[in-house]
Structure 1
């Protein structure tokens, strides 16, 4: 069998770095594209390029000849219209730059549940809430959404260049990454560490619906496994797939367990939403002092905690359940305990001296 050559776009993020590790472990040749590549994953060939600069891409991708492309990155902008313009262009520029090489066999795109719940500007708002469990066949919302723009760019390039594609829709992704814009697991680890430092309670920041309702998340390792499975399974070609751990939980059950791992007092929903963006005001200086005293490797709180995104997820007015039947029927059976997803991440963050 010819050697498979993967290009992981966004290789320094939660999804991309975990995917790169999984591909390397399975013997793939792997290149990792990022604006500022990191050498976190041994064996990955770093490729520095700006997805908004076609010239930069043309130079960086010359003779790379990937057989499989995994797009795991996006860029946040002030409005959804700008999200659409920028993120659509990033995908289009990438695939245009690769087209002359005629090597690409499959392109996988990672989006998420905002496909069903709406973009940031209308996220999980009344009037647009979908039925749960969320299923892949549910129609697009009648709203502007940069995920739809990214999908459309992949579909158009696939028709032009003849490759197969897959779209992957995780829920909140749990895994290690520094400087990531959507990082609930590390955000909660940092918040719990600050609670222990200050003696304040580990207070659930979200809504009653999230506290009491059913939810799920996606371990980055499960997402990586599905990406590889879909890229190498003929029956999975040209399909969109939900991807979550495979279990369900209620935050009122999980929250005390997370608190216990850190040895802090758990405080649940008490009738009002208490956003992390408010609870963590002033913690930047405190974290910097902690990092210096305890010899942590990242003193910048903003590189570890994304309070705004965790507040967005945990503040929703509905519970969220994601159906996995589609990929299960086609043979994807990977399962992960959500409790262990968080505990494994916390242990890794501690071992890597990102939290005390």
Structure 2
């Protein structure tokens, strides 16, 4: 897992990309907006360090679990300012936390929109190799799809995001 994503069930981690996406999806749902892919065309079409097309498809299904409409990547999205859209949503997050009786958190304490924006707007492939680790017989791995489902479930159990 990339360094900036090492605490997937932390209730107070700004380095948590899955939680950042979950907060974004929750706010989209709360406002009645579709969840738009916040990255660029390159990251939409290319393999990334912890994902592939199947993971992106699973993420679309995951987003649908929040009852959020999903808009696939479109060329015009390059101009979509999702950082601007999320700016100032702290009070709305406070409303969501209160309404769904979530763990009391401040959006700016649990999200990393700027870091996620960097990752989703790479214009090069970002893939780390496990070859050296495998040569030294480290065989550990995590199934990304199962991990996402498990960590989202854990975030719900922790009352970090609303249940369906």
TM-score by length of 2: 0.85
Query: Cα gap change, 1:183/1:275 in structure 2, threshold over 3 Å: closer, same or farther?
Result: farther
2:138 maps to 332
1:209 maps to 42
Structure 1 unaligned runs (5+)? 1-168, 218-247
Query: Aligned pair 1:178/2:15, yes or no?
Result: no
Which structure's residues are more often helix, by fraction?
Answer: 2
The total of aligned residue pairs comes to 158
Tell which has more relative contact order, 1 or 2 (C-alpha 8 A, sep 6+).
Answer: 2
User: Is residue 204–residue 255 contact of structure 1 (8 Å, CA) maintained in 2?
Assistant: no
1:315 maps to 121
In the aligned structure 2, how far is the partner of 1:194 from the partner of 1:209? Answer: 25
Query: Aligned pair 1:258/2:62, yes or no?
Result: yes
1:73-222 correspondence runs (5 A) = 170=2, 172-173=4-5, 175-217=8-50
Question: SS where residue 182 of structure 1 aligns?
Answer: coil
Cα displacement (A) at 1:252: 4.6
Structure 2 unaligned runs (5+)? none
Question: SS where residue 159 of structure 2 aligns?
Answer: coil
Cα displacement (A) at 1:171: 5.5
Question: SS where residue 115 of structure 2 aligns?
Answer: helix
Question: SS where residue 188 of structure 1 aligns?
Answer: helix
1:304 maps to 110
Question: SS where residue 297 of structure 1 aligns?
Answer: coil
Cα displacement (A) at 1:181: 3.2
> Which residue among 52, 55, 79 is the counterpart of 1:249?
52
Question: SS where residue 39 of structure 2 aligns?
Answer: coil
Query: Cα gap change, 1:171/1:268 in structure 2, threshold over 3 Å: closer, same or farther?
Result: farther
